[in-house]
């Protein structure tokens, strides 16, 4: 798949107009996710759903609660996006292997990209909904300790699965042959062309021999020159078919290699990126379980863990994409833990000021308010960070697709339409999904919207003139703010994150 650096061939005014329109599409779908996410967050932070979290603050401590909720939310967002990428890659691989788009360019096939995009978005949303329902059930039935065990086991089994998937990918070529007979088809076509070439050479040799024997009688008229023209046309047709066959085979191998590369990179990402933040959650929650949840040593250990693991990852001689996201996830988990702890301390400070003013509060009241504020802050921060993570990872898919010349309009509009359809589907199925399922599904929808936003960000950098770039950015910002009810702070933070991830090349 050939890469393109700049888009040209249009006037600056047309570039600005087209960029504004496409940017507005990506921005509108991003803004459309704001209100549903805010509504489900309001439901989850009401008294009923908050009670299990408030009870568990006493078990794992404020820091443990923050790191555990943060790591779980980020793991859900990462897993759902990777599940979508796997689903899309599998559909695209099957599509190419069975040669369903025979006769047209693979990279220009609308059916290929539409099938992969719809499958990927559906896989992301379904995975998020499934994980959301599972997490809700675990917390209600087994509390935060049960969630800690499940998160730890899930993190431990992913590296072995990583090696299993890589082994299966090595069998990809054989699987494609069994599935669609692709390699056999190419070999059969080459053999048929070679047989036809040999037959033509034999036929021409016989005709030449007959011409030589009948040269004196033929007189070299037009009726004897016509068969030679027919033979020449047949030979040119065979050469054309042979060339097209070779080009199609090469194009298929190229796109299949790219699909395999994407899958391998995301396998690494899924297997290892969650380890740093899960380690932090395990350590801080362990301190809380053994009765040291509020001790200063927990903060010191947490700070040391973040510093050591961050240093080891950044100093790696072979720095990879999963290490970058692992560092970011670890820092985000650290920030969530600090916000959770700070929320409880604010309650204590307020109680002390009220006591000085003559308004005494019982320890039970102060403790209940501390637990509530800590749980509320942990849930709010984790939800926001998970949304940013899903958006960024979606942008990591959309950006490279545009740079790989998959068609900027196709990616932006297609991803936006699919995300909009999924958003409507989630709203319809909300009673069936429940609170956790809807929250997880919405994280998947945000990831699908991130594909469109990342494609817009990549498009903005590919125009040949500044009006095209500025028009694209303006369309995205205005679309996101207008549809997102002018949530300037939230959207203002999301757009730079989407841009950074869209410009990152994990492949």
Residues 59, 384: Cα–Cα separation, whole Å = 24
Provide the residue-wise pLDDT of the chain in tens; the chain has 507 residues.
Answer: 444 456 655 677 888 888 899 999 999 999 998 888 888 888 888 877 778 788 778 788 888 888 889 899 998 888 888 888 888 888 877 777 665 444 445 555 667 777 888 888 888 888 889 998 898 888 888 888 888 898 888 888 888 877 777 777 666 555 444 444 445 555 566 666 666 666 666 666 556 556 655 655 555 544 555 555 666 676 667 677 777 777 767 777 777 777 777 788 888 888 888 888 888 888 888 887 777 766 667 778 888 888 898 888 888 777 788 888 888 888 898 888 888 888 888 887 887 877 777 777 777 777 788 888 888 888 889 889 999 999 998 898 888 888 776 677 888 888 889 989 888 888 888 888 888 888 889 888 998 899 999 989 888 887 778 888 888 899 999 998 988 888 888 888 888 888 888 888 776
Residues 280, 298: Cα–Cα separation, whole Å = 10
Question: Could you tell me the residue range of the domain that residue 189 belongs to?
Answer: 184-247
Partners of 7 in the beta sheet?
463
Q: Dihedrals φ, ψ of 105, to 5°?
A: -70, 135
> Residue 6: inside a domain, yes or no?
no
Residues 168 and 267 in one domain: yes
Structure tokens, 237: 């047709």
Residues 178 and 243 in one domain: no
> Residue 200: inside a domain, yes or no?
yes
Residues 190 and 172 in one domain: no
> Residue 367: inside a domain, yes or no?
yes
> Residue 2: inside a domain, yes or no?
no
Residues 502, 106: Cα–Cα separation, whole Å = 23
Residues 469, 458: Cα–Cα separation, whole Å = 10
Q: Three-state SS for 497?
A: helix
Residues 396, 401: Cα–Cα separation, whole Å = 9
Place of tokens 């809380």: 288
Residues 462 and 433 in one domain: yes
Q: Three-state SS for 432?
A: helix
> Residue 5: inside a domain, yes or no?
no
Residues 273 and 396 in one domain: yes
Residues 172 and 201 in one domain: no
> Residue 320: inside a domain, yes or no?
yes
Residues 187, 211: Cα–Cα separation, whole Å = 36
Distances (CA, A) of 315 to 156, 319, 320, 354, 501: 24, 8, 11, 49, 21
Residues 231 and 278 in one domain: no
Residues 224 and 321 in one domain: no
Helices then strands, counting H and E runs in the chain, come out as 16, 0
Residues 225 and 352 in one domain: no
Among candidate residues 113, 262, 250, 94, the one with its CA nearest the CA of residue 177: 94
Residues 333, 339: Cα–Cα separation, whole Å = 10
Q: Which positions ≥6 away from 399 have C-beta within 8 Å?
A: 454, 455, 457, 458, 501, 502, 503, 504, 505
Residues 267 and 241 in one domain: no
Residues 175 and 190 in one domain: no
Residues 161 and 194 in one domain: no
> Residue 118: inside a domain, yes or no?
yes
> Residue 459: inside a domain, yes or no?
yes
Q: How many alpha carbons lie under 13 Å from residue 297 in its C-beta half-sphere?
A: 9
CB 12 within 8 A of CB 462: no
User: Quick one: pLDDT at residue 344?
Assistant: 81
Among candidate residues 463, 465, 456, 469, the one with its CA nearest the CA of residue 28: 456
Q: Report the domain count for the chain.
A: 2
Give residue 63's Cα distance to chain centre.
Answer: 29
User: Quick one: pLDDT at residue 243?
Assistant: 73
Q: Torsion-angle region of residue 288: left (phi > 0), alpha (psi -120 to 50) or beta?
A: alpha
Angle CA(153)–CA(263)–CA(34) in degrees, nearest 5? 75
User: Quick one: pLDDT at residue 101?
Assistant: 45
Give residue 494's Cα distance to chain centre.
Answer: 15
Structure tokens, 297: 């040593």
Structure tokens, 300: 């010191």
């Amino acid at each position: 798949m050939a890469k393109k650096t700049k888009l040209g061939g249009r006037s600056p005014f047309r570039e600005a107009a087209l960029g504004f329109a496409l940017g507005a599409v990506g921005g509108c779908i991003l803004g459309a996710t704001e209100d549903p996410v805010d509504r489900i967050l309001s439901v989850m932070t009401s008294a009923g759903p908050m009670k299990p979290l408030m009870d568990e603050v006493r078990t794992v401590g404020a820091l443990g609660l923050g790191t555990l909720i943060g790591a779980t939310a980020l793991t859900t967002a990462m897993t759902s996006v990777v599940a979508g990428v796997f689903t899309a890659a599998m559909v695209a691989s099957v599509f190419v292997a069975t040669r369903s788009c025979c006769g047209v360019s693979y990279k220009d096939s609308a059916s290929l990209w539409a099938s992969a995009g719809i499958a990927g978005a559906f896989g992301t949303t379904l995975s998020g909904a499934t994980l959301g329902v599972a997490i809700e059930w675990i917390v209600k039935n087994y509390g935060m300790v049960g969630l800690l065990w499940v998160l730890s086991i899930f993190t431990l089994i992913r590296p072995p699965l990583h090696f299993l998937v890589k082994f299966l990918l090595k069998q990809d070529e054989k699987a494609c042959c069994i599935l669609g007979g692709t390699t056999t088809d190419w070999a059969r076509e080459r053999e048929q062309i070679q047989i036809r070439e040999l037959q033509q050479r034999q036929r021409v040799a016989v005709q030449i021999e007959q011409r030589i024997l009948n040269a004196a009688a033929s007189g070299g008229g037009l009726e004897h020159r016509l068969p030679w023209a027919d033979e020449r046309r047949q030979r040119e047709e065979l050469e054309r078919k042979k060339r097209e066959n070779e080009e199609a085979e090469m194009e298929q191998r190229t796109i299949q290699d790219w699909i395999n590369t994407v899958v391998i990179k995301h396998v690494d990402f899924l297997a290892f990126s969650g380890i740093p933040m899960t380690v932090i959650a395990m350590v801080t929650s362990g301190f809380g379980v053994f009765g040291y949840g509020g001790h200063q040593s927990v903060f010191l250990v947490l700070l040391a863990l973040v510093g050591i693991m961050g240093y080891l990852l950044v100093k790696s001689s072979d720095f990879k994409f999963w290490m970058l996201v692992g560092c970011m996830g670890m820092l985000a988990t650290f920030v969530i833990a600090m916000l959770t702890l700070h929320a409880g301390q604010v309650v204590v400070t307020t109680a002390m000021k009220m006591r000085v003013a003559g308004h005494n509060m019982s320890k039970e009241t102060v403790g209940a308010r501390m637990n509530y504020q800590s749980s509320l802050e942990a849930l709010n921060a984790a939800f926001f960070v998970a949304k940013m993570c899903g958006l960024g990872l979606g942008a990591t898919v959309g950006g490279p697709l545009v740079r790989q010349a998959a068609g900027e309009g196709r990616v932006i509009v297609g991803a936006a339409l699919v995300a909009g359809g999924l958003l409507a589907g989630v709203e319809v199925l909300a009673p069936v999904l429940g609170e956790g399922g809807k929250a997880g599904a919405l994280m998947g929808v945000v990831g699908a919207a991130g594909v469109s936003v990342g494609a817009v960000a990549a498009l903005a950098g590919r125009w040949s003139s500044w009006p095209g770039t500025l028009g694209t950015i303006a369309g995205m910002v205005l679309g996101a703010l207008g549809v997102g009810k002018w949530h300037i702070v939230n959207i203002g933070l999301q757009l730079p994150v989407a841009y950074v991830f869209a410009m990152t090349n994990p492949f």
